[in-house]
């Protein structure tokens, strides 16, 4: 059966790879495209892949013919799809995930922020099997848990250490944008690349894993080669892992075709190319933002919403050259210190906490500039 796929965030790092997979797999058909503002690339994609719906969330000027925008845009992009790939960056992705939940459409989830800020709202849909993870670590764990008796002892997320891994501690505070965007193993969008350098991304993944897999012990180890994409430790003490060179097309194809496995060879990989595989403990002193965000996740309520909003504002300010790399952690810390937590009961409560935390983060950034 042909599966119609909506690609939200089609102009991004994940979105563009997904389009190549859809084109290569005869069982997948592109239903719709959505981006934020990159109209030039969107128009190229429209011409090349001819989707039924092409949409833009935030048009700068006139909307070209055949492209829709405005009120109810997400519903129009999602309606008629069998699977939605949510590859929007940031908490802006939550609304799309909630529409998938409400319509009962399978959600291939790259937008980890949906779970960081709105995990509670997606809990029942995850339990019902509506959410298939795309993040490479979570895709690995999802696959490793398949047909395994529960409970398992623990899961271990691997972390490359990001671009800041080899920068000496004394230089880290003032590391430049080019240096931080130069990730050693993964080619990704700007925000997640910066988040990998601060380890905020790994903290988000800990929160994401808790929502996806329930109350399991979660560890993190640094694995610079990014060949082992995470581990599951079974009750008998043995370890299960998925290995291969870093390539997001592997978890993407798995999520888009799940539960079918119509294999197209997309990775030409050989263990002889991998070299030595190393694992080491995460140095939590070097990555203070990791502790702050993991703690926010443990505290629940709106704490992770505040942490994410602060990080989004701080990362944008760093990329714009307004604040230093070291200030990202300072912004998160200060926003969390002043946050008045509330229960998360619906999208509105998430958006309110998000708005207030952004406002506060922007005030702190202005002071630091
Ligand atoms: N890249 C990876 O390898 C990777 C791996 C695991 C998980 N993820 C997760 O996947 C998500 C996307 O990451 P990415 O690296 O692909 O980011 P990216 O390259 O920055 O792309 C982000 C995409 O989201 C679109 N977008 C932004 N705001 C939007 C809005 N309000 N409405 C609709 N579309 C919007 C952008 O459109 P414009 O181009 O028009 O701005 C772009 O298409 C993130 O949550 C990230 O954490 C990424």
- The strand pair at 3-8 and 83-86 is best described as parallel
Q: Is the CB of 113 under 6 A from ligand 1?
A: yes
Q: Is the CB of 212 under 6 A from ligand 1?
A: no
First to last CA, the chain: 55
Residue 154 phi/psi, 5° resolution?
A: -165, 165
CA-based torsion, 197, 117, 131, 81: positive or negative: negative
77: its two tokens: 């992009």
Residue nearest to atom 30 of ligand 1 (CA): 36
Beta strands in the chain (DSSP E): 3-8, 28-35, 53-56, 83-86, 106-109, 131-133, 154-159, 217-222, 228-233, 239-243, 280-281
Q: Is the CB of 36 under 6 A from ligand 1?
A: yes
pTM over 0.85: yes
Ligand 1 mutation pick, 14, 43, 139, 141, max ligand atoms within 8 A of CB: 14
Q: Is the CB of 31 under 6 A from ligand 1?
A: no
Task: Assess whether the previous peptide bond of 315 is cis (omega < 30° from 0).
Answer: no
Residue nearest to atom 1 of ligand 1 (CA): 188
Of 316, 329, 289, nearest in space to 91 by CA = 316
Residue nearest to atom 20 of ligand 1 (CA): 189
- Whole-number Å distance, alpha carbon 189 to ligand 1 midpoint, is 7
**What does the pLDDT profile of the chain (369 residues) look like in tens digits?**
899 999 999 999 999 999 999 999 999 999 999 999 999 999 999 999 999 999 999 977 778 999 999 999 999 999 999 999 999 999 999 999 999 999 999 999 999 999 999 999 999 999 999 999 999 999 999 999 999 998 999 999 999 999 999 999 889 999 999 999 998 888 999 999 999 999 999 999 999 999 999 999 999 999 999 999 999 999 999 999 999 999 999 999 999 999 988 776 667 889 999 999 999 999 999 999 999 999 999 999 999 999 999 999 999 999 999 999 999 999 999 999 999 999 999 999 999 999 999 999 999 999 999
Ligand 1 mutation pick, 90, 189, 255, max ligand atoms within 8 A of CB: 189
Q: Is 1 helix (H, G, I), strand (E, B) or coil?
A: coil
Q: Is the CB of 22 under 6 A from ligand 1?
A: no
Task: Report the top-level CATH class of 3-135+247-269.
Answer: alpha beta
- Whole-number Å distance, alpha carbon 45 to ligand 1 midpoint, is 16
238: its two tokens: 């043995």
Q: Where are the domains of the chain?
A: 3-135+247-269
> Ligand 1: which atom is nearest the Cα of residue 42?
40
């Amino acid at each position: 059966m042909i599966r119609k796929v909506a690609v939200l965030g089609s102009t991004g790092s994940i979105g563009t790879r997904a389009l190549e997979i859809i084109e290569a797999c005869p069982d997948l058909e592109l239903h719709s495209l959505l981006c934020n503002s990159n109209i030039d690339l969107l128009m190229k994609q429209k011409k090349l892949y001819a989707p039924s719906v092409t949409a833009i969330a935030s048009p700068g000027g006139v909307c070209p013919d055949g492209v829709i925008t405005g009120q109810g845009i997400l519903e129009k992009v999602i309606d008629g799809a069998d699977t939605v790939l949510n590859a929007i960056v940031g908490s802006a992705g939550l609304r799309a995930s909630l529409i998938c939940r409400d319509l009962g459409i399978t959600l291939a989830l790259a937008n980890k922020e949906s779970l960081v800020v709105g995990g509670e709202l997606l809990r029942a849909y995850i339990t019902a099997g509506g959410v298939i993870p795309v993040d490479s670590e979570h895709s690995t764990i999802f696959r490793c848990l398949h047909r395994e008796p529960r409970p398992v002892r623990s899961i271990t997320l691997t972390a490359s250490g990001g671009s800041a891994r080899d920068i000496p501690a004394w230089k880290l505070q003032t590391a430049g944008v080019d240096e931080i965007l130069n990730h050693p193993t993964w080619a990704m969008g700007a925000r997640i690349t910066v988040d990998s350098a601060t380890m905020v991304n790994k903290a988000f993944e800990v929160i994401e894993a808790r929502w996806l897999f329930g109350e399991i012990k979660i560890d993190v180890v640094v694995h610079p080669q990014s060949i082992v994409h995470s581990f599951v430790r079974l009750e008998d003490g043995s370890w299960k892992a998925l290995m291969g060179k870093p390539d997001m097309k592997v978890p993407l194809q798995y999520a888009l075709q799940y539960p079918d496995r119509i294999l197209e060879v997309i990775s030409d990989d050989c263990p002889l190319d991998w070299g030595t595989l190393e694992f080491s403990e995460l140095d939590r002193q070097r990555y203070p933002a990791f502790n702050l965000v993991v703690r926010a996740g443990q505290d629940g309520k709106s704490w992770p919403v505040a942490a994410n909003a602060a990080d989004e504002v701080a990362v944008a300010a760093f990329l714009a050259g307004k604040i230093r790399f070291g200030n990202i952690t300072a912004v998160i810390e200060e926003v969390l210190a002043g946050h008045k937590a509330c229960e998360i009961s619906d999208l509105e409560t998430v958006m309110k906490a998000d708005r207030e935390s952004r406002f506060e983060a922007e005030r702190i950034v202005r002071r630091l500039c």
